[in-house]
Amino acid sequence: MNVYKAVLLDLDGVVWTRYGAIDKSPDATHLFKENGIKVFYLTNNSHRSQQETFDKLCKIYLTNQDVFYPAGNEIMPGTGSYLSCITMPHEILNDKIVVCGKPNVLISEHLKKMFALEKTEVVMVGDNLETDVKLGINCGYRSVLVETGVHSRADVEKLKIKPSKIFKSLYDMACNVNNEREQVNY
């Protein structure tokens, strides 16, 4: 299997928290780029514009289903927490509800058309098994869980969602790029 050519990076809990950059994450993105790996950012975060989120919720076009997101040492309710308040009555009425964020594969189809990346060349990196890693699995990408956000390796068995690899941080992953090049399997 070829080494990956692109990483899709979730932001919250991977690159930064609400309090600033996660330790050495800027170095990690430099390392990827120095090694010729394309870096894309893929976030479900709509928290910074609450009004927009609520507007979108009213239209039933929802950005994501994340129940939680990391805020420093705290775990805060995400858009998904509000989602059930909206979806439940619509599900009862059999209305169609569209969620266009992770783990919906629509995003990956868009990236494929624009950048012609094969599935084996892409790694989805995130801190959330239920959205980030699941998106990777849904798209046929390899997936990496980094333990700087919502989930850790202890959650893998509990949620039955298995990433291809687990790293303590994005920087740890980036430092292993050259090791990955020497490995046949990932």
Segment near Mg ion (CB under 5 A); pick from 15-23, 27-35, 123-131, 153-161: 123-131
* Rounded distance between C-alpha atoms, residue 122 and residue 132, angstroms: 13
Closer residue to Mg ion in complex, CB, 37/129: 129
Kindly tell me which residue out of 13, 101, 136, 163 binds Mg ion, with binding defined by CB under 5 A. 13
Q: 106, 100 in Cβ contact below 8 A?
A: yes
- Strand ranges, E, within 60-114: 61-62, 68-71, 74-77, 98-99
Question: Shortest Cβ distance from residue 31 to Mg ion (Å)?
Answer: 20
Kindly tell me which residue out of 63, 64, 102, 127 binds Mg ion, with binding defined by CB under 5 A. 127
Decide: is 130 part of the binding site for Mg ion (CB under 5 A).
no
Count of residues interacting with Mg ion (CB under 5 A): 6
* Rounded distance between C-alpha atoms, residue 68 and residue 77, angstroms: 5
Segment near Mg ion (CB under 5 A); pick from 6-14, 23-31, 77-85, 177-185: 6-14
Decide: is 121 part of the binding site for Mg ion (CB under 5 A).
no
Return the closest-CA partner of residue 177 out of 64, 69, 37. Answer: 37
Decide: is 10 part of the binding site for Mg ion (CB under 5 A).
yes
Decide: is 12 part of the binding site for Mg ion (CB under 5 A).
yes
Return the closest-CA partner of residue 39 out of 150, 135, 117. Answer: 117
* Rounded distance between C-alpha atoms, residue 42 and residue 118, angstroms: 18
Closer residue to Mg ion in complex, CB, 3/124: 124
Closer residue to Mg ion in complex, CB, 3/68: 68
Decide: is 80 part of the binding site for Mg ion (CB under 5 A).
no
* Rounded distance between C-alpha atoms, residue 86 and residue 97, angstroms: 10
Residues 46-65 that bind Mg ion (CB under 5 A): none
Tokens of 98: 């569209």
Return the closest-CA partner of residue 80 out of 109, 102, 96. Answer: 102
Query: Would you tell me which residues interact with Mg ion (CB under 5 A)?
Result: 10, 12-13, 127-128, 149
